[in-house]
Amino acid sequence: MSSKRLSVVVTRRLPDAVETRLKELFDVQLRDTDTPMTQAELTAAVKQADVLVPTLTDRIDAGLIGQAGDQLRLIANFGAGVDHIDVDTARSRGILVSNTPGVVTEDTADMVLALMLGVTRRIQEGLNVMQSGDWAGWAPTAFLGGRLGGRRLGILGMGRIGQAVARRARAFGMQIHYHNRRRLRPEIEAELEATYWESLDQMVARMDVISVNCPHTPSTFHLLNARRLALLKPSAVIVNTSRGEVIDENALTRMLKAGELAGAGLDVYEHGHRGNPELRNMSNVVMLPHMGSATREGRLEMGEKVIINVKTFADGHRPPDQVVPAML
């Protein structure tokens, strides 16, 4: 790259420390308000920037990339998931794409266990009673939930986050099972005491809890569809902290409403932030606003990775977290 400072456009507000460092290093355009860019604003950004720093709320599709100026050479995503970016089209235009893998692993795994406990121990119901002032006092049969120890946990997607979930779940005494595109190495399976299921259908039919930890790709869209959800035991619980599109949300809602599933803990939804309204009225559903990775430490580390990727690119080298086909 030339000695000229890169023009960097950031699409959302980032932590102050991250924005300060970006201003020190680059000719950066920051976002004044913490709202997503409009399509017109995104179009203007890709026409002027050398580097675009988007987030998962930005749809970087083929149409948008087609309007990019010749100077756009890097899309440095603030986040690990890149299903909102048409990576193939970017590559065909000579535009690199980078992300921030590994940063959210521990935070997201913590939230998986929090949601498991939230559903199985009826925490949302208890909170509602206390906040409404309707608690009449302790009773032997009130708010009876179930313990996690001894339950079979089926992990769908055994990457970094899935393995971190397994380690936590073992500490709770859960039995670890998993389905993954590729089987783990024997030593990792032994460490996690994890049982591999080649057949997803056979696994889900035997689990007490399902944790969705796979990315959203064309092959995982509605991986838990109506047919597969119907294989679950009526006593089973589903937790999703990955991507909402992996589950057929309407089918899930119907089954929860009919009592065909015991409960669900959801941090992500099929249609962005618009979760099925019927889910909000169900006492056996815990809903969170996509906060699985929302820690101060995690956001700062994500920002640091973005800066390293852009700075490495500016120095004429391949970004360390460049998205390559093997990651998709």
Residues 6+ apart with CB under 8 A from 313: 1, 6, 51, 73, 74, 76, 96, 98, 319
> Does residue 89 sit in helix, strand or coil?
helix
Question: Same domain, yes or no, for 219 and 128?
Answer: yes
Q: What pLDDT is attached to residue 260?
A: 98
Q: Quick one: pLDDT at residue 325?
A: 60
- CA-to-CA dists, residue 237 to 16, 175, 256, angstroms: 39, 15, 10
The CATH number for 86's domain is: 3.40.50.720
Question: Residue 204: enclosing H or E segment and its boundaries?
Answer: helix 200-204
Written as one letter, the residue type at 163 is: Q
Shared domain for 132 and 262, answered yes or no, is yes
Q: Three-class SS string for 154-177? A: EEECCCHHHHHHHHHHHHCCCEEE
Whether residues 55 and 129 share a domain: the answer is no
Maximum CA extent, the chain = 72
The predicted structure's pLDDT at residue 326: 46
Q: What tokens appear for 48 in the block?
A: 């002027």
In this structure, the answer to whether residues 24 and 155 fall within a common structural domain is no
What's the pLDDT score for residue 3?
56
The model's pTM: 0.90
Residues 98 and 152 in one domain: no
Q: Are residues 198 and 299 in the same domain?
A: no
Domain that holds residue 20: 7-103+295-327
- Residue 15 within a domain: yes
**Count of the separate structural domains present in the chain:** 2
Considering the domain architecture, whether residues 118 and 197 belong to the same structural domain is answered as yes
Dihedral of CA atoms 219, 225, 227, 231 in degrees, nearest 10, equals: 100
For the chain, 328 residues long, give each residue's pLDDT as a single digit of tens. Answer: 455 789 999 999 999 999 999 999 999 999 998 899 999 999 999 999 999 999 999 999 999 999 999 999 999 999 998 999 999 999 999 999 999 999 999 999 999 999 999 999 999 999 999 999 999 999 999 999 999 999 999 999 999 999 999 999 999 999 999 999 999 999 999 999 999 999 999 999 999 999 999 998 899 999 999 999 999 999 999 999 999 999 999 999 999 999 999 999 999 999 988 889 999 999 999 999 999 999 999 999 999 999 999 999 999 999 999 998 644 3
Are 125 and 93 within one domain?
no
Q: What's the rounded Cα separation, in Å, for the pair 118 and 112? A: 10
| 138 shares a domain with 231 | yes
Residues 84 and 152 in one domain: no
Q: Provide the 8-state DSSP code for 85.
A: B
Cβ proximity of 99 and 81 under 8 Å: yes
Q: Is residue 81 part of a domain?
A: yes
Q: Look at residue 1 and tell me if it is in a domain.
A: no
- 196 with 313, same domain: the answer is no
Are both 114 and 221 inside the same structural domain?
Answer: yes
Say if 219 falls within a structural domain.
yes
Residue 2 lies in a domain: no
